[in-house]
Chains A and B, each alone.
Chain A
């Protein structure tokens, strides 16, 4: 049994979600090969080869794979699949984009966002915005799976010495092409891997008020997140969104400010270790999952909290 794991990377290093997926692969058992696919991504191979437990690092570096265009990446993976019993990827937007395409090309099903490995063919995954946990079994010869990063501890990044193999085959379907990319710039930790997150909702009232959370976040070394309401109101960009349709986070400490705690938001944060809620409405649903709740006006409580730290 061998596992092909498609790495999430930024052309320089592996993303933490990849290391969490390595842990999931280790629990399934078998030889693990890491596929680095992209354009100008060879620098990642060296760091990937140092991950303990990895047998081989495969590098597919070509302009056709720039920004991991789904059609071309899926075609490449399909060509490699016959050597593997499992194909895994982190459940990032990239993985979610190309993995179902891979599965359909292989004529197999896919299991999305697993949160635990029960056996080599049986997995647990959240359904209904995390309000139920399904145990599902794949009856297919090749199991195509995406892994929820926050459900598995990241594997060690150093200590291994895998061999590196450069793939020469190129899949260019010519079906789609990247025009541009607009990435939000942030010096703060990445939302999905941050140890502390400060999130704001509609109660923040205004874009300018989010600066209060920025200041608080900087003091805590935290990332800033938001609810859909805050994104729709234009307070923050969409990649701040935490929830069923945004990012799923599970930090050590999550501080929710001026947000009610709708089902769809809770789906993205209720596995946080400690949840703090600051809301002036004492009946807000967020207090039902908060370890520590403070019923207060956030415009007084947040500056006070920042001062106290």
Chain B
């Protein structure tokens, strides 16, 4: 079975973002970029399924400009077999991304598609679900455990009150949660080998998708600042402040 993994290049999760002075977007110039943490978990899960003999090939796909080939190479170094980059020059919305991925899936016919549950930049948490809908296949979001048994998939999901386990018929789309696994690091020899693995570039036109954003970004602003607090010297002082100043406890 072939596994398709979608990965995204995002700002490194440790970087504190700045909003551009003109309020048009956040400032990504000269900022450290990385593989979205949830996508890393998706790649790791695909590699583990291959190691278990459940998958034959891992294809990673990313949609973006040339720079995202860096993240595709990272995924190849982690164990993916080949990569596809879909060239776009703007930032498509989640539905457009899902449309492009659906076309890639149609060509490659994967038995399983893995994505992160959300990207830490747009925080949308939509693409996997949209892709499943477009492929008319089942979905399992926020996965913390994945098991393949023949053409059945059993997935444990992290839901509000605890955990929920579903069985789905393959092909299916799974989005990863933080506790699914702990991603490995790419070793230097694997990073070198990854440079020789195939990376194919396609355009949206090749895939027959017109890029039309229906969700329009009007402006971006920094969040409201909290007014500076104070340090108290003792528990007694803290309780007094909470009782008499903030009035949040009786």
Contacts and interface: CB of A to CB of B under 8 A. Distances in A.
A and B assemble together: yes
Interface string A176-215: 1111111110000000100010000000000000000000
B125 A131 contact: no
Given A127-B122, A128-B11, A270 B226 contact: yes
Nearest to B131: A104
Contacts of A290: 229
A182 B231 CA distance: 41
CB-based closest 8 A-B pairs = A100-B129, A104-B133, A175-B138, A104-B130, A100-B126, A291-B229, A183-B162, A253-B248
Interface string A63-106: 00001011100100000000000000000111011111111110
Contacts of A26: none
Interface stretch (A39-47, A134-142, A157-165): A134-142
A238 interface: yes
Contacts of B132: 101
A293 B177 CA distance: 32
Given A93-B160, A136-B217, A238-B158, A308 B235 contact: yes
A245 B118 contact: yes
Nearest to B128: A100
Interface stretch (B54-62, B63-71, B75-83, B165-173): B165-173
B179 to A, nearest CB: 6
Contacts of B209: none
Nearest to A141: B214
Contacts of B226: 270, 275, 289, 291
Contacts of A252: 248
A109 interface: yes
Contact of B239 (A108, A129, A196, A309): A309
Residues of B contacting A: mostly = mixed
B3 interface: no
Contact of B17 (A131, A138, A275, A309): A131
A26 B140 CA distance: 32
Contacts of A133: 220-223
A139 B121 CA distance: 22
Interface in B194-250: 213-223, 226, 229-232, 234-236, 238-239, 241-242, 246, 248-249
B44 to A, nearest CB: 15
Task: Give the contact-size bracket for chain B.
Answer: 35 or more
Contacts of B124: 100, 110, 112
Interface in A112-133: 112-113, 122, 126-133
Interface of B: 11, 13-14, 16-17, 19, 26, 93-95, 98, 117-118, 120-134, 137-142, 144, 154, 157-169, 172, 177-179, 213-223, 226, 229-232, 234-236, 238-239, 241-242, 246, 248-249
Contacts of B246: 253, 274, 291-292
Contacts of A238: 144, 158, 163, 179
A131 B189 CA distance: 37
Contacts of A176: 138-140, 166-169, 172
Contacts of B162: 181-184, 237, 239
A220 interface: yes
Given A104-B134, A112-B125, A308 B249 contact: no
A245 B248 CA distance: 27
A237 B159 CA distance: 12
A138 B142 contact: no
A221 B124 CA distance: 33
A286 B106 CA distance: 47
Nearest to A110: B126
A290 B227 CA distance: 9
Contacts of B213: 109, 139
Interface of A: 67, 69-71, 74, 92-94, 96-105, 107-113, 122, 126-140, 173, 175-184, 192, 196, 220, 228, 231-232, 237-239, 244-245, 247, 252-253, 263-264, 270, 273-276, 282, 287, 289-296, 301, 304-305, 308-309
B35 to A, nearest CB: 16
Contact of A71 (B122, B134, B139, B154): B139
Given A132-B222, A176-B168, A196 B248 contact: yes
B212 to A, nearest CB: 9
A308 B239 contact: yes
Given A129-B123, A274-B246, A263 B26 contact: no
A309 B226 CA distance: 27
Contact of B126 (A112, A132, A309): A112
Nearest to B239: A308
B152 to A, nearest CB: 10
A289 B230 CA distance: 10
A122 B217 CA distance: 10
Nearest to A192: B160
Contact of A292 (B131, B157, B242): B242
B117 A245 contact: yes
A176 to B, nearest CB: 4
Contacts of A301: 235
Given A93-B160, A238-B158, A239-B160, A274 B242 contact: yes
Nearest to B159: A93
